Structure 1
Amino acid sequence: MKQIQDIAKDRELLLGLAKNDGKSLEIIYSENFPPVLRMIYQYNGSEDDAKDVFQEAVIILYEKACKGDFTLTSRLKTFLYSVCRHLWLKKLQSSHGMYALPTELEEIIPAEDIVDEHQEKDEQFRVMESAMGSIGQPCKTILEDYYMYRKSMQEIAEKFGYTNAENAKNQKYKCLMRLKKLFFDKYNTSL
């Protein structure tokens, strides 16, 4: 059911794009630019590179949508991601003579899987941020100190007044289990 809704939404966006509807263009950018930006970063590009490539892909999409005989055979996000990947790899190949994928390999790599994977990871990060925001203190600070700031258990024990590093480690474990429960509760309800 969701797949049918997504395809219908993509078709509406294409119609809006062909009619120069600013809202359709805004939605296309907001939903499809982030995965393209990550892909360009992955290949040592900049945000400006990503904007240029994405703009070029949207122009290609616009021209196809205006012709009226264009049939979208995949999700819009897959189409745009594939076009952007192709444009970027072509640009890298011509300017650096590197990072180019052989044509047969380009055809094998399923762009839809890559886009879906990125969206899944984005959703997981959003849920994790939400879980971290609701875990409370001192757990939030203990986990941040250990995992983000790479503080030792001894430093954490001293900071929070635990008698030794082993007690701090036990508290970190309890916090981690609490975070895990919050994460999965929130993640399962967001599906």
Structure 2
Amino acid sequence: MKAEINEQALLKGLANNDTKAIEAIYKSNFNMIQSFVTNNNGTYDDARDIFQEAMIALYEKAQGGSFVLTSKLNTYVYSICRRLWLKRLQQLGRYSNQIDGLEEAVSVEEDLETHLKRNAEFTIMDRALNSLGEPCKSLLEGFYLKQLDMQALAKEFGYTNAHNAKNQKYKCLMRLKKLFFTQYNIGE
């Protein structure tokens, strides 16, 4: 109930050009929109443009006075941005599916929940990786992010051969997995 009151206050603030309300909407929504656009053939600038268009649409709705928000504000903003971006992709010829009837085909609530859950999992994984310690953190980053082979890892970390590096990587991965799931289960 408190969240609904807060969201109504944000809409009222937006309608009255309240800078704090506009900033609050921006801070709680832009990263999600940027992630969506950049993961779907777009750039940071595209995300800014789409978000700006959505804010204008939301502003016009809020100014009307009769607008009733029937979902969470972030869900509403996300759905506007998603529709605008898919429409733009279609105009650029980078999206072939028909936009008409998109509401029936894609549940924005589910898509948003999936996105938010994935972001939370990435945050937990980052926290687990940072609490892993050295040399495990660097070893896993070398293998998974830098895509170094076992021979290169053995040389970089001073292991006698690739087999020893592989064993150490496995042990580090199991420690990371344990840290991740311990933190993941605490967060639920």
- Per-residue CA distance 1:95-150 (angstroms, 9 max, x = gap): 43844534224432011211221111111111111111111111011111111111
Q: Counterpart of 2:37?
A: 40
Root-mean-square deviation over aligned CA pairs: 2.0
Q: Counterpart of 1:17?
A: 14
Distance 2:170 2:29 in 1: 38
Q: Counterpart of 1:127?
A: 124
Amino acid at match of 1:51: R
Q: Counterpart of 2:5?
A: 8
The Cα shift of 1:11 comes to 2.1
Distance 2:70 2:110 in 1: 15
Q: Counterpart of 2:110?
A: 113
User: Unaligned 5+ residue runs, structure 1?
Assistant: none
Q: Is the 8 A contact 1:32 1:77 kept in 2?
A: yes
**2:84 is equivalent to residue 90 of structure 1:** no
Instruction: With the length of structure 2 as denominator, give the TM-score of the two structures.
Output: 0.88
Q: Is the 8 A contact 1:81 1:115 kept in 2?
A: yes
Q: Counterpart of 2:158?
A: 161
Greater displacement, 146-155 / 15-24: 15-24
Question: Secondary structure of the equivalent of 2:101?
Answer: helix
Q: Is the 8 A contact 1:132 1:179 kept in 2?
A: yes
Q: Is the 8 A contact 1:89 1:101 kept in 2?
A: no
Q: Counterpart of 1:187?
A: 184
Provide closer, same or farther for how the CA distance between residues 105 and 168 of structure 1 changes in structure 2, counting only shifts above 3 A. same
After TM superposition, what 4+ stretches of structure 1 lie above 6 angstroms from structure 2?
none
Distance 1:28 1:100 in 2: 30
User: Unaligned 5+ residue runs, structure 2?
Assistant: none
Provide closer, same or farther for how the CA distance between residues 102 and 22 of structure 1 changes in structure 2, counting only shifts above 3 A. closer
- State the percentage of identical aligned residues: 48
Amino acid at match of 1:38: S
Q: Counterpart of 1:177?
A: 174
Q: Is the 8 A contact 2:86 2:99 kept in 1?
A: no
The Cα shift of 1:5 comes to 4.2
Instruction: With the length of structure 1 as denominator, give the TM-score of the two structures.
Output: 0.87
Q: Counterpart of 2:137?
A: 140
Provide closer, same or farther for how the CA distance between residues 9 and 181 of structure 1 changes in structure 2, counting only shifts above 3 A. farther
Give the number of aligned pairs.
188
- Per-residue CA distance 1:34-76 (angstroms, 9 max, x = gap): 2222222233222222211111111111121122211111111
Q: Is the 8 A contact 1:89 1:99 kept in 2?
A: no
Q: Counterpart of 1:59?
A: 56
Distance 2:129 2:87 in 1: 41
